[in-house]
Amino acid sequence: MTYEKIRRRLIAILASRGCISAEELADETIDRVARRVIDIRNAYVGDKAIYFLGVMNNVHHEYLKRPMIPRLPERDDDVEAKEKTHGCLERCLGKLTTNSRQMIERYYAEDKQAKIDLRRRIAEEFGITPSTLRLRALRIREKLQACIEQCLRAEAL
């Protein structure tokens, strides 16, 4: 399992527990496992991922004992960042295949009140079930997300 995968899963679990420092604790967990890996490598039996979960539980318990730091509300008024994201979206849409682009355009061009009905119609157009449509659209969405993040990182350099 890759570092990124285990980190993402740890963050998801910590966030689900309401931890506002999920990323920080996930990194701390991985650091602790890395420090002990030589000692336990030969003796440990079972799924290694479970070991990460155990260490994460310890880290989280320690965290809960610390005084709580209130989280600052997210600001969403960065116009420049929004424009950059728009630019990256256009570029990333251009990298999609025609079929994927058409699907994502139809999937997101929907009225919020008519979500279910419209998705059923789109699914019929593409000759798939609504659940398959959702799955495919979200996979394309995931690729777009990764592409946009890479694009934004490249622009920041």
Partner 1 sequence: MLAGGSFVMTDNNDRFHDGGSQEFSDETIRRFLLGGLSASEQPLFEQRLITDDGLDARVRLAEFDLADDYAFERLSTLDRELFEKKFLLTSDRQQQVRVSKVLRDRFSSTAATSSEEHTVAQRLRELFGLNRPAWRIAFGVLILLILFGTAWLVIKEPRIVRQIANRITPRRSTPASAPREAGHPTNTSMPEHQTTPSPMPEHDQTAAARIVLMPAVSYDSNKLLSVNLPKGEQEIVRLQLVVKPDQPGPHRAELLTVQGQSIFSADSLQSADSRANVDFDVPAHLLNGGDYQIRLSRSDRGKQEVVARYYFRVQ
Residue ranges in contact with partner 1 by CB under 8 A: 5-6, 8-13, 15-20, 22-23, 47, 49-50, 52-53, 71, 74, 76, 81-82, 85-86, 89, 92, 95-97, 99-100, 104-106, 108-112, 114-115, 118, 121-122, 124-125, 127, 134-136, 138-139, 141-151
Question: Which C-beta is closer to partner 1: that of 36 or that of 86?
Answer: 86
Q: What CA–CA distance (Å, rounded) separates 24 from 28? A: 6
Maximum CA extent, the chain:
58
Nearer to partner 1, 37 or 146 (CB): 146
Q: Give the CB-side neighbour count of residue 101, counting CA atoms within 13 A.
A: 10
The token duo for 100 is 């994927």
Q: What is the dihedral of CA 115, 98, 138, 73, to 10 degrees?
A: -80
Least separation in angstroms between residue 43's CB and partner 1 is: 20
Tell me whether residue 36 or residue 114 sits nearer to partner 1 (CB atom): 114
Burial of 116 (0-12, 13-18, 19+ CB in 10 A): exposed
The least distance separating partner 1 from the CB of residue 134, rounded to whole angstroms, comes to 7
- For the CB of residue 83, give the shortest distance to partner 1 in the complex, in Å: 10
Shortest Å, Cβ 108 to partner 1: 4
- In this complex, which beta carbon is closest to partner 1, that of residue 31 or of residue 142? 142
Overall residue count recorded for the chain in this entry:
157
Alpha carbon 50 to chain centroid, angstroms: 21
Least distance to partner 1, CB of residue 78, Å:
9
Which residue, chain included where needed, has tokens 């496992």?
Answer: 33
